Amino acid sequence: MDVTLLGTGSPIPDPNRAGPATLVRAGATTLLVDAGRAVLMRLAGAGVLPPMLSAVLLTHLHSDHLTDLNDVVTTRWVMSPAPNPLTVYGPVGTRQVVEGMMAMLAPDVGYRLAHHDDLTEPPAVEVVEVAPGDELTVGEVRVLVGGTDHRPVEPTVGYRVEHDGATVVLGGDGVPCAGLDALCAGADAYVQTVLRDDMVRMVPMARFHDILDYHSSVEQAAQTAARAGVRVLVLTHYIPGIPPGQEAEWRARAAAHFEGEVVLGDDLTSVSLA
């Protein structure tokens, strides 16, 4: 199983970091978890084109995590030689978001259907709304859905992906909670979106401080990893973006609470699990 950080950015625009998105490749199954800004550019960088995706999994409906889902849908549709339905898993509310997105795309779909004789059907998107405790089979992988705590954003979920003895947890956004601990228990890798609370506190803007209470700090992510006994902690969605040369400082903050391997870095940083 290979886990690739497609986008390590956050809502803050960054020329070098795409929005939140993570790729999980396991056997013949390819999962896209969240679909933030510029996801298709990073997918291409990882050697994956949209028709190759087995499914999209959304952790929650914050815009930074799905702003380019429409690009995934449209580009998969126009690049597939035959109908190639896309399944989008996500928490309750995903259906409403996808329906609105499809309404936004309606003019474009009309133009392309009228212009291409061999394109006879609109893009097919199947939405499956999930809840904590659900177990899914997607291609060759087993996916467990767990509850996360990103309140007041609700509902939000994390995913535990298992294949051939390897396990990765995609925690999405949120603070430590029992549901996340349970989802992570004994996993090979745990991917968590994080912020640096010390740096966020220095920004003289109240709206920025609001994000402190619903995101894990680097230290909290490391504590979750330690409690759950995971082998590799993967940090992403850096708030603020890690300036060049400061990776070691971020890593040290995690290492103070977690003895395992800590992975962080630029977009397309990848981890191979047995």
CA distance 225 to 78: 41
Strand partners, 168: 161, 189
Q: Which residue has the tokens 């061999």?
A: 118
> What are the φ and ψ backbone dihedral angles of 13, each rounded to 5 degrees?
-60, 135
Least distance between Zn ion and beta carbon 186 (Å): 26
Least distance between Zn ion and beta carbon 37 (Å): 11
- Of 52 and 212, the one with the shorter C-beta distance to Zn ion is 212
- Of 194 and 263, the one with the shorter C-beta distance to Zn ion is 194
Least distance between Zn ion and beta carbon 77 (Å): 26
Cα-only R_g, the chain: 18
Binding mask 156-195 for Zn ion (x = CB under 5 A): -----------------x----------------------
- Of 166 and 169, the one with the shorter C-beta distance to Zn ion is 169
Residues 38-77 that bind Zn ion (CB under 5 A): 62, 64
Least distance between Zn ion and beta carbon 205 (Å): 18
CA distance 190 to 227: 12
Classified as helix, coil or strand, 104 is: helix
- Of 50 and 174, the one with the shorter C-beta distance to Zn ion is 174
118 catalytic residue (yes or no): no
> How many Cα atoms are found within 13 Å in the side-chain-facing hemisphere of 8?
23
> How many Cα atoms are found within 13 Å in the side-chain-facing hemisphere of 100?
8
Closest CA to 265 of 232, 235, 224: 235
The catalytic position among 2, 14, 34, 64 is 64
Asked whether the beta carbons of 93 and 61 are under 8 A apart, the reply is: yes
Residues 124-163 that bind Zn ion (CB under 5 A): none
Least distance between Zn ion and beta carbon 51 (Å): 27
**Alpha-carbon torsion angle 185, 134, 145, 179, nearest 10:** -60
- Of 175 and 273, the one with the shorter C-beta distance to Zn ion is 175
What are the residue numbers of the active site?
A: 64
Q: Residues in the site for Zn ion, rule: CB under 5 A? A: 62, 64, 173
